Amino acid sequence: MSEPHIETPEQLDEANARRADVPIPTGPATEEEPRSGRPADPDALLEVDDVTLRFGGVVALNSVSFTLRKGEIFGLIGPNGAGKTTCFNAITGVYRPTSGGIRFQGESLVGKKRHQITTSGIARTFQNVRLFPEMTALENVMVGADAHHKTSVISALFRLPRHWREERTGRARSLELLRFVGIEHRAGEVSRNLAYGEQRRLEIARALATNPTLLCLDEPAAGFNPAEKVDLLNLIKKIRDTGVTVLLIEHDMRLVMGVTDRIVVLEFGKKIAEGTPAEVRDNPAVIAAYLGVPTDAA
């Protein structure tokens, strides 16, 4: 089989930005990130510290802070337009915060390019499936595996031994991940021919191929039937059990409450609640946000 054309991480970033047609936040980003008065958490993996993000006169995120600890499944929820995906985009380098700090494993992410954030250990999926439709499932996952390859252009051009070793390793790892998400039997099928649920699983496998420490899932259950949601819940737990921390945006409250350790709730770009699923479920401000009733009436 002929070699598929694999874009570099930089090319993938640019292509995703063009497809997303993302606006550019306005206002200067801070060079020195302020730390809030919160005490340092020795188990902190990701720290979002007083992040504000403005698009012209629109404040998409307003002084949002939370800490994600190693080994958690952490939920980020809220009504439509609450700022959840915007927060994901700030964490993964699509947007640069107008102010505030974002640190991953103690290092600032503000100002880093998206491929640098990926290689630092953060991977994500998107609300809308973004696969290479004419590539096979295996080739799509191998694109993710390429993120950590060290082969030079010359080595790849002349098919030197190091290139072949990395290709073999990447292929084996990609097949293993397809097996992990339950679609190894579709490895040779072009991704556009996969069922929707299989495409979602394929996107998760491709993200895992970058060997992340933190996996950000943006509405992975969108369009799933109840049985598929149960399978997804079990897959998310299985991912966490491998040592990968998970940050989850999801509208299905039953799934969120059944899989997360802690939850942050956003409304109109502001954090209105944080706690365990039970604490968040019974919070009057959260009930009001979802039901559209005043807090004192909830």
CATH number at residue 284: 3.40.50.300
90 lies in some domain: yes
**Which amino acid belongs to residue 152?**
S
4 lies in some domain: yes
287 lies in some domain: yes
Model pTM above 0.75:
yes
Report which of 179, 193, 19 is spatially closest to residue 94, judged by C-alpha positions: 19
Q: Which segments of the chain does DSSP mark as H helices, in order?
A: 9-20, 84-91, 114-120, 137-145, 153-157, 161-181, 196-208, 226-241, 253-259, 277-281, 284-291
224 lies in some domain: no
pLDDT single digits (tens) 257-274:
999 999 999 999 999 999
Give kind and range of the element (H or E) at residue 245. Answer: strand 245-249
Write the secondary structure of 58-69 as one string of H (helix), E (strand) and C (coil): EEEEEEEEEEEE
Residues 67 and 95 in one domain: yes
Residue 40's domain spans which residues? 1-121+213-219+236-298
Residues 150 and 86 in one domain: no
229 lies in some domain: no
72 lies in some domain: yes
* Rounded-to-integer distance, Cα 110 and Cα 30, Å: 9
pLDDT single digits (tens) 169-223:
888 999 999 999 999 999 999 999 999 999 999 999 999 999 999 999 999 998 8
Residues 157 and 242 in one domain: no
* Rounded-to-integer distance, Cα 127 and Cα 108, Å: 26
Residues 56 and 101 in one domain: yes
| Total tally of structural domains belonging to the chain | 2
* Rounded-to-integer distance, Cα 225 and Cα 222, Å: 9
pLDDT single digits (tens) 214-230:
999 999 998 899 999 99
